[in-house]
Chains A and B, each alone.
Chain A
Amino acid sequence: MVNRGQSIDKKGVVISDNARNLLVALTGKSRLLVATLVGTTVLNIASPDGAGTAFAQEKFIVVASTTSTQDSGLFGHILPHFKAKTGIEVRVVAQGTGQALAIAKKGDADVVFVHDKAAELKFVEEGFGVYRRDVMVNDFVIVGPNSDPAKSSGNDVIAALKKIAAGKSPFVSRGDKSGTHAAELRYWKAADIDPQAGKGTWYRETGSGMGPTLNTASAMNAYAFTDRGTWLSFKNRGELSLLVEGDTKLFNQYGVMLVNPAKHAHVKKQMGMQFIDWITSPEGQAAIAAYKIEGQQLYFPNFVAQRR
């Protein structure tokens, strides 16, 4: 006796039956469609800006850097010089210093270019980076409302921070473990102030990059700690202006290093070193110095060759 519905309708159909049907449906579906998919995927991975090492005819390196160097426009200015000279394309993945070091540790970048010397040296000490060199210095500034309620204006960063904390003036911090954030925290410490005491009231942490943090400060008409480069190219100033600058303590050191090929064999050592050599060469250093916004130089090259 047969029951027509037995194989399809009854509950408790054998699972392998279902699996077989799924496989048949997936692969039995139009062969043309499957071929198209496979074809386009292969073509896409194989195309010049697709995957790479096996297929890439182009020369490129991945540099993990910070949002401040990207947002200020420095890379847009100096990288074409490097490409013209060496033919190497520099692909900049710009995240915060913390994230840049994290992906470099995993071997997802060839070169690291950030501005947190303490963290960089630790990175080298732990064996993840080699050939670290100073590259350039820029400076931090404090921006704030035009009216400057805390009377912070001047060239003394420690005094300014003390006044801001005393007056509980709204202050927006990046709070994202970036080089800028690390520097900010050092200055608070030097002023003997724990900004966490004001967390949620006058001290606000955005957990984001310099740009979004400045957007927030602009919207809240608050003080903020920023690098000069990002500030100069920032277009959404609202009623903020530059209040504290020129303190020698505010200088910010940038460093470059190669991700250790001993830890990650695929690192493009030769091309990476070409970049490191170039950016610390007289030519590269001159290119950095030549970058100006509103007539102001942003970055001051300071590589000093070690005497052997």
Chain B
Amino acid sequence: MQEISQSLSLAVALITSLDSTLLSIAGLSLRVSGIAVLAAALLALPFGAWLALARFPGRQGVIAVLNGMMGLPPVVVGLLVYLMLSRAGPLGPLGILFTPAAMMIAQALLIFPIIAALARQVIEDAWGEYREQLVSLNASRAQCMRALLWDMRFTLTTAVLAGFGRAIAEVGAVMIVGGNIDGVTRLMTTAIALETSKGDLPLALALGVVLITMVITINLAAQWVKSTAMKKHG
């Protein structure tokens, strides 16, 4: 208990002093996960919408696999991405192992199934309500997908935030593909792991508090935007 109160005051001190190392690590975490979620969402949302509306043999199997991949172990994803990006691997010549780009790729892969699976469910449910009207209007499949994605934007924002939360919280994948290099690929989560391994538990916990605060703040902001927009648009 004493450690927790010690950590809380340390966390407050770190935040208010705007410690420069903390700022750069926090900034990097936001940047890596932000880009990862943007890239993943740009592909996962249309994919989920397409899957919701498509009908082909084996579709149920694809949905089951997609849902299952929401539980991909991050460390396994990290290992696979490492093997791809390693110099000995197919994408080695790109030279992006142990850089933020590698971490963005790993995180994007990790959260793609989350956003896609949730989008698929949301759009499929909405399709039940909208189908007859959209078919009556002769909307093409692509037009239906876009109309539904836009109409369900509030629910889909929650799915995207879920993906972001997963990305910014994971440590296994980014540790392997990033290497936790000081000043280059050290994120909040890998810094916490490092301080824990050095036995500096109060600092580790303080960093954890800062991380949680960051994530909650982002979610609060998103919620505010959502509710303002919902009041305006129904």
Does A271 make an interface contact (CB < 8 A)?
no
Does A262 make an interface contact (CB < 8 A)?
no
Q: A13-B56, A108-B97, A236-B201 are in contact. Are A41 and B87 (CB under 8 A)?
A: no
Chain A proximity of B179: nearest CB distance (Å): 4
Considering only CB atoms, which chain A residue lies closest to B92 in the complex? A107
Are A211 and B199 in contact, CB atoms less than 8 angstroms apart? yes
Does B26 make an interface contact (CB < 8 A)?
no
Are A93 and B179 in contact, CB atoms less than 8 angstroms apart? yes
Does A118 make an interface contact (CB < 8 A)?
no
Interface-lining segment among A16-24, A148-156, A175-183: A16-24
**Contact pick for B42, options A8, A9, A34, A218, CB 8 Å:** A34
Does B20 make an interface contact (CB < 8 A)?
no
**Contact pick for B184, options A26, A91, A210, CB 8 Å:** A91
Binary per-residue interface labels of chain A (255-286) against chain B in the complex, 1 for a CB within 8 Å, 0 otherwise:
00000000010100000000000000000000
CB interface residues, B 6-23, toward A, < 8 Å: none
Are A50 and B101 in contact, CB atoms less than 8 angstroms apart? yes
Binary per-residue interface labels of chain A (86-108) against chain B in the complex, 1 for a CB within 8 Å, 0 otherwise:
00000111110000000100111
Which residues of the partner chain A approach B198 to less than 8 Å between Cβ atoms? Answer: 71, 211, 233-235
Does A305 make an interface contact (CB < 8 A)?
no
Does A207 make an interface contact (CB < 8 A)?
no
Does A295 make an interface contact (CB < 8 A)?
no
Binary per-residue interface labels of chain B (86-118) against chain A in the complex, 1 for a CB within 8 Å, 0 otherwise:
111100111111111100100000000000000
Which residues of the partner chain A approach B131 to less than 8 Å between Cβ atoms? Answer: 9
Binary per-residue interface labels of chain A (34-60) against chain B in the complex, 1 for a CB within 8 Å, 0 otherwise:
101100110011000111111000000
Does A25 make an interface contact (CB < 8 A)?
yes
Are A8 and B135 in contact, CB atoms less than 8 angstroms apart? yes
Does A241 make an interface contact (CB < 8 A)?
no
Chain B interface, DSSP helix/strand/loop, else mixed: helix
Which residues of the partner chain A approach B86 to less than 8 Å between Cβ atoms? Answer: 103, 106-108
**Contact pick for A52, options B39, B47, B95, CB 8 Å:** B95
Does B172 make an interface contact (CB < 8 A)?
no
Does B196 make an interface contact (CB < 8 A)?
yes
Whole-angstrom distance between the alpha carbons of A51 and B96 in the complex? 4
Does B152 make an interface contact (CB < 8 A)?
no
Does A112 make an interface contact (CB < 8 A)?
no
Which residues of the partner chain B approach A215 to less than 8 Å between Cβ atoms? Answer: 196-197, 199
Are B54 and A21 in contact, CB atoms less than 8 angstroms apart? yes
B residues contacting the other copy or chain, number (CB 8 A): 51
Does A33 make an interface contact (CB < 8 A)?
yes
Interface-lining segment among B70-78, B138-146, B206-214, B223-231: B138-146
Does B164 make an interface contact (CB < 8 A)?
no
Which residues of the partner chain A approach B54 to less than 8 Å between Cβ atoms? Answer: 13, 18, 21-22
Most interface-central of A62, A108, A215, A237 (chain B CB within 10 A): A108
Does A66 make an interface contact (CB < 8 A)?
no
Does B151 make an interface contact (CB < 8 A)?
no
Most interface-central of A25, A36, A51 (chain B CB within 10 A): A25
Whole-angstrom distance between the alpha carbons of A76 and B50 in the complex? 51
Whole-angstrom distance between the alpha carbons of A52 and B194 in the complex? 25
**Contact pick for A40, options B38, B93, B197, CB 8 Å:** B38
**Contact pick for B141, options A8, A106, A211, CB 8 Å:** A8
Shortest beta-carbon contacts, A-B, top 3: A211-B197, A236-B199, A93-B179
Additional 7 contacts, C-beta under 8 A, given A25-B46, A37-B38, A233-B198: A10-B55, A21-B54, A22-B54, A50-B96, A93-B98, A209-B197, A264-B87
Q: Which residues of B contact A (CB under 8 A)?
A: 31, 35, 38-39, 42-43, 46-47, 49-50, 53-57, 86-89, 92-101, 104, 131, 135-136, 138, 140-142, 145-146, 179-182, 184, 194, 196-201
CB<8 Å pairs between A and B, sample of 7: A21-B50, A25-B142, A26-B46, A41-B35, A70-B194, A266-B87, A266-B95
Q: Which residues of A contact B (CB under 8 A)?
A: 4-5, 8-13, 15, 18, 21-22, 24-26, 28-29, 33-34, 36-37, 40-41, 44-45, 49-54, 62, 67, 70-71, 75-76, 91-95, 103, 106-108, 208-212, 214-215, 218, 233-237, 264, 266
